[in-house]
Amino acid sequence: MTLKWRWLPTIVVGGWLGYRWASRLVVAPEPLVRRRTDMPYSTVPTLLIPGWGGQAWTYNGLLRWLAQQGYGHKVLTVRVDWHGGLHFVGDWSVTATNPLIQVLFDHSLTRDYQPQVRWLTAILAALKTRYGVTTYNAVAHSWGGSAAVHSLVLYGHRSDLPELRRLILLGAPVDEGKVGGPVDMAYERLRAAQHHLPPMSHGTVINVYGTLSGRFTDGSVPVHQVTALRPILADSTITYREVHVPATSHGQLHASRRMWRLIARLIWGQLPK
29 vs 133, more confident: 133
pLDDT of residue 2: 56
Give the class (CATH, top level) of 3-268: alpha beta
Give the three-class secondary structure for 189: helix
pLDDT band at residue 179 under the 50/70/90 scheme? confident
Mean pLDDT of the chain: 91
Q: Which residue has the higher pLDDT, 182 or 244?
A: 244
Reduced to 3 states, what is the DSSP secondary structure of residue 129? Answer: helix
Q: What's the CA gap between 2 and 5, in Å, rounded?
A: 6
Q: What are 112's strand-pairing partners?
A: none
CA distances to 53, 67, 108 from 116, in Å: 12, 27, 9
CA 229 – CA 81 distance, rounded (Å) = 30
> Could you tell me if 141 and 170 are in contact, meaning their C-beta atoms sit under 8 angstroms apart?
yes
Instruction: Return the higher-pLDDT residue of 252 and 271.
Output: 252
> What average pLDDT does range 231-236 have in this prediction?
93
pLDDT for residue 4 is more than 80: no
Burial of 238 (0-12, 13-18, 19+ CB in 10 A): buried
H-type helices in the chain, by residue range? 3-6, 8-23, 57-69, 114-131, 143-155, 185-192, 223-227, 230-233, 252-255, 257-268
Q: What angle do CA 166, 154, 55 make, to 5 degrees?
A: 60
Question: 39 vs 241, which has greater pLDDT?
Answer: 241
Q: What type of residue sits at position 64?
A: R
**How far is the C-alpha of 106 from the C-alpha of 166, rounded, in Å?**
26
Q: Give me the pLDDT at residue 17, please.
A: 41
Q: Which residue ranges make up each domain of the chain?
A: 3-268
Q: Which pLDDT score, from 0 to 100, does residue 15 have?
A: 44
38-56 average pLDDT score: 95
Confidence of residue 94 (pLDDT cuts 50, 70, 90): confident
- pLDDT tens track for 191-209: 999 888 877 778 999 999 9
Q: How far apart are the first and last CA of the chain?
A: 67
Long-range pairs, 154-159, Cβ under 8 A, ≥24: 154/117, 154/189, 154/190, 154/193, 154/196, 155/121, 155/196, 156/196, 156/197, 156/198, 156/201, 156/203, 157/196, 157/197, 157/198, 158/125
Q: What pLDDT score was predicted for residue 3?
A: 54
C-alpha dihedral (253, 257, 168, 66), degrees to nearest 10: 140
Whether residue 13 is predicted with pLDDT greater than 50 in this model: the reply is: no
Q: Give the distance, in angstroms, between the CA of residue 130 and the centroid of all CA atoms in the same chain.
A: 21
